[in-house]
Amino acid sequence: MNLSLSRTAALITASLAMLQLAAPAQAALITETYTPSTVTTAIPDDNAVFTSFLESITGSSIQYLTRVTISLDLRGTSSGLGFASDMAVTLLQSPVGSAPSGSDPSAILLNRVGITGSNPVGMTYDGWNITLSDSGASDIHLEAVLGGVTTGTYQPDGRANPTDTLRPAMLSVFNGGTGNGDWRLNVADLAAGGTMKLVNWSLTLEGNDIAAPIPEAGTWAAGLGLTVLAAGGFWRARRRK
C-alpha cells in the first residue's frame, strides 16, 4: 500500500476510536413538577408588602434549566370581589436557606394588568386560573376580559413598569440555573377596591441533568472528519514534493 495512504488510513482508524471515546453522553431532558400544599390565603388589600409563599427544592436532578412554567390560581375572595389590575406577582429563586437578595433571578408574572399610559384603571376582572409560560400565545398584561376568572396559557407580564412595553423579567431569567433553590411566589395587592386570595400554585421545571449543554454527536464527528480530511491533504502534499 502507498505509504501516504497507509498513514491516512491509520489516522482515520485512530480518529474513529477517538470519536467513540471522546464523544460525551447526551444530556437527559428532565421535567419536574412541584405543587405546594393548597394555601387559599387572603392577600392584604391596598398593601405593597408582598405575601410570600415558599417552595424549597433540594432534590432536583436538573443542573441546567431550559424552561420554567408556573400555574397560578389567584382570584377574588368571593366571586366578583377580585380586581385584576390591583395585583403584582413575582417569582424569585434564591439559594436554599438564604435570604432573598437583589442578585437573585426574579420573574414578574403580573404587574397591574391592563394599565397603560392611556388606561390608568386597567382590568377589573375577578382573577386568574392560568399557566404562565414564555411560549404562551399572548401577553397576560394585554388580555382584555369583561369579567370572571381568566383561564388558559399566557406569557407572563414581564414589566418592571406596568405602563411600559419593555419586558425584561420573563421566566427565561431562570434559564441556565439549577432546579434546587428556595422558590418564592410573592403576591401583593397594590390598590384598594378588591380583595384577592391565592388558592394554589405549582411550578414546572424543565432542563438537563448536566451543568451545560453538550454538542451533538454529529458536531464531534464533523470536527474529527475535518481533521481526517486535512491530514489526508497533508500527506498528498508531501507526496508531490
Domain layout of the chain by residue ranges: 36-208
84 touches 124 (CB < 8 A): yes
pLDDT at 212 (0 to 100):
72
Tally of residues, the chain: 241
Residue 234 has what pLDDT?
39
Q: Which CATH class is domain 36-208?
A: mainly beta
Q: What is the pLDDT of residue 38?
A: 85
Beta strand 149-154 with 127-132 is parallel
Question: How far apart (Å, rounded) are the C-alpha atoms in residues 149 and 146?
Answer: 10
CA dist., res. 233 & res. 213, Å (int): 33
Over the Cα atoms of the chain, what is R_g? 26
* 3-class secondary-structure state, position 26: coil
Q: What is the pLDDT of residue 188?
A: 98
pLDDT for the residue 235: 38
pLDDT for 146 equals 85
3-state secondary structure of 102: coil
How far is residue 139 from each of residues 72, 92, 155, measured CA to CA in Å?
Answer: 15, 20, 5
CB 4 within 8 A of CB 235: yes
> What confidence score (pLDDT) does residue 201 get?
98
pLDDT tens for the chain, 241 residues long, are: 454 556 555 555 555 455 455 545 577 899 999 999 888 999 999 999 999 999 999 999 999 999 999 999 999 999 999 999 999 999 999 999 999 999 999 999 999 999 999 999 999 999 999 999 999 999 999 998 889 999 999 999 999 999 999 999 999 999 999 999 999 999 999 999 899 999 999 999 999 999 875 555 444 444 444 443 444 443 344 445 4
pTM, two decimals, is 0.79
Phi-psi region of 176 (alpha: psi -120 to 50; beta: other; left: phi over 0): left
Backbone angles phi, psi at 183, to 5 degrees: -95, 120
